[in-house]
Amino acid sequence: MSQEIEKVKSFIIGSGPAGYTAAIYASRANLSPIMYQGMQPGGQLTTTTEVENFPGYPEGTEGPAMMEDLQKQAERMGADVRWGMVTKADLTERPFKIETDDGKFFEADSVIIATGASAKYLGMESEEAFKGAGVSGCATCDGFFYKEKPVAVVGGGDTAAEDALYLSNIASKVYMIVRRDELRASKVMAQRVIDNPNIEVLWNHVTKEIVGTQSGFIKALNGAILENVKTGEEKKIDIEGFFVAIGHKPNTGLFTDQIKLDDQGYIITAADSTATNIEGVFAAGDVQDHTFRQAITAAGSGCMAAIESERWLGEQ
């Protein structure tokens, strides 16, 4: 018995500002796109609280609310937005063959990859041991559980600064563990951190180990061992939550042996374009952008990908 195959002009892998914008434009171009949202529908912005730098929101907005708005707009335009993951994508010949975790099979005339990027972790055994039991890569997801408790944030960029500021309104104290003697965050965000009385920045420190207790299957994080990179001196901080905000890695595992990637794993696109090395396959958002990584630039590249996809299909 042969497997039923859905045929589609435009298949969008992943959501977020890039994917949803691509879906809006592809729908308006009568490409009848199908989108599979991925593990994190809405992408990284669903883990962000206030978004104040996206045009059109003079009072700011919440990241999850913005993503809900974009999804509704894409669906209103006619996009078929589905919950689930793409598990296999064969891009070696057209039509492209795609399989999903709900057992569906597709043949797509064009593909837009908008799989984004995922949080990086430090890679320590103790960190892995306490994941979900004190260690988290998402402050806005898990911060609620640490109300009036001491926590730490690792990192010195905008994400770490935003996480520390968010947690400062929930936790009893926030330690910010910074490897250097300055923050990489924007000046505005850095000043907000420094001015916040509930945040203590531990300059020139790295994390050596996460410590805690375990009773049966129950684990409880209660501290972290830090090392001063200049003096070598070690110290323990008493915390119950440990939030990692040291950057992201592009979600390109599905395409490693098919699409050209740079040395960091990001998809390489042509200059001033979202086109990949495979004709008919386009990439938008953080999966191909390691420079700006903003919602507005992701949305812009999603627009570009849909327009380029439409034009490419029109030439075939």
71 — alpha (psi -120 to 50), left (phi > 0) or beta?
Answer: alpha
Hunting for tokens 């592809």 — which residue is that?
26
In 3D, which of 297, 229, 306, 293 has the Cα closest to residue 264?
293
Q: With contact defined as beta carbons under 8 Å apart, do 284 and 113 qualify? A: yes
Q: With contact defined as beta carbons under 8 Å apart, do 173 and 202 qualify? A: no
Alpha helices in 46-156 (DSSP H): 63-77, 125-129, 139-142
Alpha helices in 29-90 (DSSP H): 63-77
The verdict on whether omega for the bond into residue 41 sits within 30 degrees of 0, i.e. cis, is no
Residue 211: CB atoms within 10 Å: 16
Strands (E) located in 155-194: 173-177
CA dihedral 62, 199, 137, 54 (to 10 degrees): 30
Cite the active site residues: 138, 141-142
Q: How many helices (H) and strands (E) does the chain have?
A: 7, 19
Residue 170: CB atoms within 10 Å: 18
Alpha-carbon distance of 50 to 62, in angstroms, equals: 5
**DSSP, res 2:** P
Tokens found for residue 62: 């919440």
Strands (E) located in 84-127: 86-90, 96-100, 105-113, 117-119
Tokens found for residue 224: 């972290």
